[in-house]
Chains A and B, each alone.
Chain A
Amino acid sequence: MSTTPPLAMVEQPIATAGLRRGRGDRSVKIRGYRAGFWVYAGLALVLVSAVFPYYWSFLIGSGDASTINDPNMSWIPGGNFFANAASVLNDPAVNFWPALWNSIYSSTLIAISVVVTSTLAGWAFAKLRFPGSKGLLVFVVATMAVPMQLGVVPLYILFSDLGWTGNVGAIIIPSLTSAFGVFWMTQYLQQTVPDELIEAARVDGATMFRTFWTVAVPAARPAAAMLFLFTFVTAWNNFFWPFIVLDRRDPTLPVALSLLQSNYFVDYSVVLAGVLLATIPLLLLFAVAGKQLVSGIMAGAVKG
């Protein structure tokens, strides 16, 4: 959606540049014509630094306990990755499988709830007129500056009163809504749904809910998909609150990762094998939806 217009703008100059290519187009130095060698070199450097930590964790994770202390360490991975991975997976103190399951279902529930509540509220803020709408929206946006730390003490007290500390529910409930999500949906629907469409639906006698269902929901779909992705990634990687409230025996993946280092292992081969294992699910998601994530960030920026 948002990526097409800029492409159209860039494509045009290439055509002209192509005509002059070959006989040294030194005269044409218009920015955006053709990327020189150094641009690719620079981007390759960025790519290498983005990939290197992944490779490093595989390198150490495939060695044994002595690898890390070996000053003449080889840059070729050793053969112990599966053994190290197995010791993470089978270690009862790490709880890898329950952690994986907890991460999957808590992130999914959170993302669904954020998408639903944000689409409903975003629709009202974007297209329906009601007293107090402006003020409420400004208020919601302002709360985006409130740090998570400001709520944790009472939330902890509340959940321990309920006997929920240690329960994954305690990390799902506080994340069920997102001020950013409401802002995102409001912006999106405001710009994509023409007012005439709503008026037409009203004239045809559609109820408000029917209008929402037939106009807003289909229009919101691309933005909803991106909001889902973002919320999922954020919830998956969240650490501060789960670290506080979850039981060490029933963690999410980031909490399990922190246990790898703090409670148990000093063996970095096992720790980094575990880090890579815990990162694989999101890498898979990224392989499938990375493009969407990219265009989501870029779309959000234009409106932000």
Chain B
Amino acid sequence: MTATDVRPDAPEAPPQRKEKPVRVLSFSQNLSRWDLKFSPYLYISPFFILFAIVGLFPIAYTAVISFMEWDLVRNSGEFIGFGQYVWILENPHFWTALRNTFSIFLLSSVPQLLLAVFIAAMLDKNIRAKTFWRTSVLLPYVMAPVAVALIFSNMFGDNHGLVNNILTDLGLPAVPWHKDPFWSHVAIATMVNFRWTGYNALILLAAMQAVPREYYEAATVDGAGAFRQFWSITLPSLRPTLIFVIITSTIGGLQIFDEPSQFDNTGEGGAAQQWLTISLFLYNIGWRDWNFGRAAALAWILFLIILVIGLINLLVTRRLVRDEGGRGVTIPRKRGLSRKGQGR
């Protein structure tokens, strides 16, 4: 390094003040100071260098491309301003895709979270073979979304699908799962719910386990029933975790691609765009029509939508948390008292 001339036992470092000799930095001390100062950057650099190249650069470049008419042959673009954004926003398919995406997102996340809270509450009971039940709940999570989509689109077949067979056996009319927009959204949302409900239940279960059991005992002594206990003790303590789960499922749900793309064998989102989602639309624009400028513009629009919806979710749920009132103050204190059960 630069300080090699300062030897460990440099004999004449003239003391400037008699009482307090200046500390002569030895080589190893100097090295150690450099080490302390710069090695953190060394540790984060592998992540950040890769992240900048394959994560950040493409995002910025997408913005650039979205203002261009991209020429695939020459692989370069011509600047056209907001033209691609205007094209997207004026395209009726975009609005259909937006509506479909929201519809599928709501049909999947709302029942999924309700079910997940319910399943978590069951797992939170004092049950036998805890590990077995917890593990079984996660079984759908390991199946690839594409595999889930293939199995479920088979079960939701219009003519001879399992679900319609059961419905007609019960004397009910068969449901047009592929023809009707709403029912196609229900079918696709079912695939999402199948894969993610157990996962979210486990996250919520973790939060439930952090609630001190004394609360429930005290509530029982006070005469609160099971429902009242769930409503007044369990749910309020779940709120931070609920925010986390809601935000992550928003981010994931608005990007949905795998399930709708495999819902039939053309992957176009249905003859009348019944289940065309934004991501599927993006793929069709980019890799079927080969128009990268428009695909890039749509990607940015999708990102802005996710940001806005995510922020709205955050604000709404945070307000709910603040409404909790004094409880937020008492929980940590009581937790401190019953340390032995808490861990971390």
The answer to whether residues A191 and B142 also contact, given A153-B292, A244-B287, A300-B203 and a CB cut-off of 8 A, is no
Closest Cβ of chain B to A255, distance in Å, is: 8
For residue A6, CB closer than 8 A to chain B, the reply is yes
CB B45 to nearest CB in A, in angstroms, measures 8
A40 to B119: give the CA distance in the assembly, Å: 11
Tell me the minimal C-beta distance from B327 to chain A in angstroms: 18
A176 CB–B CB distance under 8 Å: yes
A145 touches B146 (CB 8 A): no
Docked Cα-Cα span, A210 to B325, in Å, equals 48
Q: Do B150 and A4 touch (CB < 8 A)? A: no
In the complex, whether A197 has a CB less than 8 A from a CB of chain B is no
Cβ contact within 8 Å between B139 and A29: no
Tell me which of A29, A113, A150, A253 has the highest count of chain B C-beta atoms within 10 A of its own C-beta: A150
A173 interfacial by beta-carbon distance below 8 Å: yes
Chain A residues near B140 (CB-CB < 8 A):
50, 53
Contacts of A71 on B, CB cut-off 8 Å? 160, 165
CB B307 to nearest CB in A, in angstroms, measures: 7
What's the Cα separation between A5 and B335 when bound, in Å? Answer: 13
Asked if B83 lies at the interface with its beta carbon under 8 angstroms from chain A, I say no
| A6-B50 contact in complex given A42-B122, A50-B140, A298-B202, C-beta closer than 8 Å | no
Q: A31–B40 contact, CB under 8 A?
A: no
B-facing mask of A111-134, CB < 8 A → 1, else 0?
001001110110111001110010
Please name all residues of chain A whose beta carbon is closer than 8 Å to the beta carbon of B57 when the two chains form the complex. 154
Considering only residues 215-273 of chain B, those with a C-beta below 8 Å from chain A are 216-217, 220, 225-226, 229-230, 241, 244, 251, 254-255, 257-258, 261-262, 265-267
Complex partner residue of A176 from B50, B254, B262, B302, CB under 8 angstroms = B50
Q: Is the CB of B203 within 8 A of A298?
A: yes
B11–chain A nearest beta-carbon distance, Å: 23
Task: Collect the chain A residues with CB atoms within 8 Å of residue B46's CB.
Answer: 116-117, 120-121
Nearest-neighbor residue (CB-CB) of B35 within chain A: A208
Residues of B within 8 A of A46 (CB): 119, 122, 136-137, 198
**A243 to B144 Cα, complex, angstroms:** 13
Which residues on the B side are within 8 Å of A68 (C-beta)? 154, 157, 160
Task: Find out whether the CB atom of A32 lies under 8 angstroms from the CB atom of B307.
Answer: no
Chain B residues, Cβ within 8 Å of A268: 154
| A143 CB within 8 Å of chain B | yes
Measured between alpha carbons, how far is A237 from B204 in the docked complex, in Å?
Answer: 24
Interface pair B139/A51, CB less than 8 Å apart: yes
Known: A31-B125, A50-B136. A2 touches B344 (CB 8 A): yes
Kindly list chain B residues whose C-beta atoms are within 8 Å of the C-beta of A275. Answer: 147, 150-151
Within the complex, the shortest CB–CB distance from A131 to chain B, in Å, comes to 9
Task: Write out the residue numbers on chain B whose beta carbons fall within 8 Å of the beta carbon of A140.
Answer: 51
Q: A5 vs B212: C-alpha distance in the bound complex, in angstroms?
A: 11
Residues of B within 8 A of A161 (CB): 75
Contacts of B50 in A (CB 8 A): 113, 117, 176-177
Q: How many residues of A contact B (CB 8 A)?
A: 118
Q: Is the CB of A43 within 8 A of B123?
A: yes
Q: Give the distance to chain A from B171, nearest Cβ to Cβ, in Å.
A: 14
Asked if A258 and B143 make an inter-chain contact with CB atoms under 8 angstroms apart, the answer reads no
1/0 contact trace for B133-159 toward A, CB 8 Å? Answer: 111111111111111101110110101
Chain B contacts for A5, CB-based, 8 A: 341-344
Residue numbers of A with Cβ under 8 A of B are: 2, 4-6, 8-10, 12-14, 28-35, 39-40, 42-43, 46-47, 49-51, 53-54, 56-57, 60, 68-71, 73, 113, 116-118, 120-121, 123-125, 128-130, 133, 136, 140, 143-158, 160-161, 173-174, 176-177, 179, 182, 191, 205, 207-209, 212, 233, 236-237, 239-240, 243-244, 253-254, 257-258, 260-262, 266, 268, 271-272, 275, 278-279, 282-283, 285-286, 290-291, 293-294, 297-302, 304
Name B residues whose Cβ lies closer than 8 Å to a Cβ of A: 32, 35-37, 39-41, 43-44, 46-48, 50-51, 54-59, 61-62, 65, 75, 118-119, 122-128, 131, 133-148, 150-152, 154-155, 157, 159-160, 162, 165, 194, 198-199, 202-207, 209-210, 212-213, 216-217, 220, 225-226, 229-230, 241, 244, 251, 254-255, 257-258, 261-262, 265-267, 279, 282-283, 286-287, 292, 295-296, 299-300, 302-303, 306-307, 310, 340-344
19 contacts between A and B (CB under 8 A): A2-B343, A5-B344, A6-B210, A31-B216, A39-B127, A117-B50, A152-B295, A153-B61, A155-B58, A160-B75, A191-B344, A243-B283, A254-B145, A254-B146, A275-B147, A282-B143, A298-B203, A299-B206, A302-B210
